[in-house]
Amino acid sequence: MEPKIKYSEQELVALLNEQNNDAFNYLYDHYSGALFTIINQIVPDKDTASDVLQEVFINIWRKIGTYDKAKGRLFTWMLNISRNAAIDKIRSKGYRDNQRNQPIAEGENSGMSMSSNPIVNDVGLKKVLTTLSEEYRKLIDLSYFQGFTHEEIAKMLGIPLGTVKTRIRTAIIQLRTMIR
Which sequence spans correspond to the domains of the chain? 1-96, 118-180
CATH of 1-96, one of 1.10.1740.10, 3.40.50.10860, 3.40.50.12280, 1.10.3720.10: 1.10.1740.10
Identify the band that residue 156 occupies on the pLDDT scale cut at 50, 70 and 90. Answer: confident
Could you tell me which CATH number the domain at 118-180 has? 1.10.10.10
pTM more than 0.85: no
Residue 120 contacts by C-beta under 8 Å, 6 or more apart in sequence?
37, 126, 129, 145
pLDDT, tens only, 53-107 = 999 999 999 999 999 988 889 998 999 999 999 988 888 766 556 555 555 444 4
Distance between CA 56 and CA 136 in Å, rounded? 28
The pLDDT tens digits for 11-68 are: 999 999 999 999 999 999 999 999 999 899 888 889 999 999 999 999 999 999 999 9
pLDDT on residue 56: 95
Q: Are 92 and 38 in contact (CB under 8 A)?
A: no
